[in-house]
Structure 1
Amino acid sequence: MKTLISLNVGEPKEYLFNGKAEKTGIGKKPITSVALHKIGFDHDAVASTEYHGGVDRAVCLYPYEHYGMWEKEFNIKLPLPAFGENLTTTGMLEKDVYIGDTFEIGTTVIQVTQGRIPCAKISKYNGVDLLSRIVESCYTGYLFRVLKEGVIDADSSIELVERVQEKYSVLKANQIMLHDRKNAEAIEEMLQIEELATVWKNKLDNMLEKIK
């Protein structure tokens, strides 16, 4: 059962991290309903456009199941949404969702393009070293492009519309991208996934070049 736990948006704001001012869009807030366009949600934006946002990264999802694990490990309470995600869900773990999967949520249709590449803001925002563990575990969450614009409500249902391949889950793709960077066979196979985000295709091309 796929369930939307929290629908979240927010504009970038300045935060003080260890006495240093940094602008980030990680501090999103739950909302009851919002329109989604090709480049993202209304009232939502990113600060570091090199690493976040764009048509291949219009929506960010993080599985709610990980919250309890991180809370137990770091002995903290994580507020929703602690990871700057737009969609906090259950039943959509990285191991169970595949690159290219298409979902209908509300009146929108969105497609998985890549795993999220986490940054240090996750640790700074939550006050504990989540980043290293997220990278190690590959529990990063993941990103979508928008195939059909529309509106998502906080109580919208989530339905899998299409699965184009069953070899590279988000978790497996993350493991290649973050840890198994010399696996030429897997990299070549991933490059054949048409739905993969362009930025990941470029990164994989570079990885392949270094191997050869």
Structure 2
Amino acid sequence: MLKQIIQSWDQYCRDENFIGIGSTRKVYRVLDYVIKVHLHPIGYKQSKKELEIYTSMVDKGLAQLFAQTYYVDDFISVQKYYKPLELKNNQTYEVKDEENQCLIPNLFDEVLEILDKNFDCFDLEDSSNYGLNNDGKLVFTDYGMTKSLYEKEWVPLAEEGILPQIHFDFCSVCGLEKELRMYGDNDRDKRCYNCGKE
């Protein structure tokens, strides 16, 4: 099945399979896999970093804390699927809050330190970067953004309005307060993703 997904990935990337979107990648679920479609070259760099990190964590005996990255090319990456964490009040949250302690797996702090020191990883405590394994523990699913990539490439493009930043506000169509994708300071389109704004 993995080979088929890689060869015919675009056939699986349909609305009914859509599960999430970030500023640089859009994600679809196919059975026990996710296809991350690169919306921007930074997304490709994130996917390559995830493959590098996962391979390193296998060697360290820590792979169980990460969604396996099976494949990366210019257009997509394919990873193992984990159920995403639910939003709270239509927004993401810090996973290390006291109320989430039951979700934290063993060696979590040790892995965060490795990711920081060895891989320059950035933004690893936001709930949107995790899934839950069968034991109800956190698994890293989005772990390829580095501090240098963020500061040198992502921030300038976000400031120019090329890549979206996330702002918590009321959608002008459905009226719900939720995370909106905003493209620069002059973006006045306050629709949420569900109401048509990518």
TM superposition score normalised by structure 2: 0.30
Instruction: Identify which of structures 1 and 2 has the higher relative contact order when contacts are C-alpha pairs closer than 8 Å and 6+ apart.
Output: 1
Higher strand share goes to which structure? 1
Higher helix share goes to which structure? 2
